[in-house]
Amino acid sequence: MKRGILVLNSDELIELGRAVELEKIKIALENLKEENRILTNEDELENILDEIGMPEDNVILKSAVTKISDLLHSLRNS
């Protein structure tokens, strides 16, 4: 299983925290910065995407989902 670093801005992290129950996200929210770097792996990224689905009206959450999808894709193709 490959690991990577998910980089989210503060708004994306806050919206992601509202959408999923993941300990790493909660910890990152406790240490919120303008740019948040979260060490993660393929399984965690898949679980986040499964839990969220595809947000339609939330532009900020959609941006976070795009970053998660892009990271997952790059991990699988490296």
pLDDT surpassing 90 at residue 44: yes
* Percentage of the residues of the chain whose pLDDT score is greater than 90: 92
pTM > 0.85: yes
pLDDT surpassing 90 at residue 70: yes
Q: What is the dihedral of CA 17, 2, 75, 59, to 10 degrees?
A: 0
pLDDT of residue 1: 83
Domains of the chain by residue range:
3-76
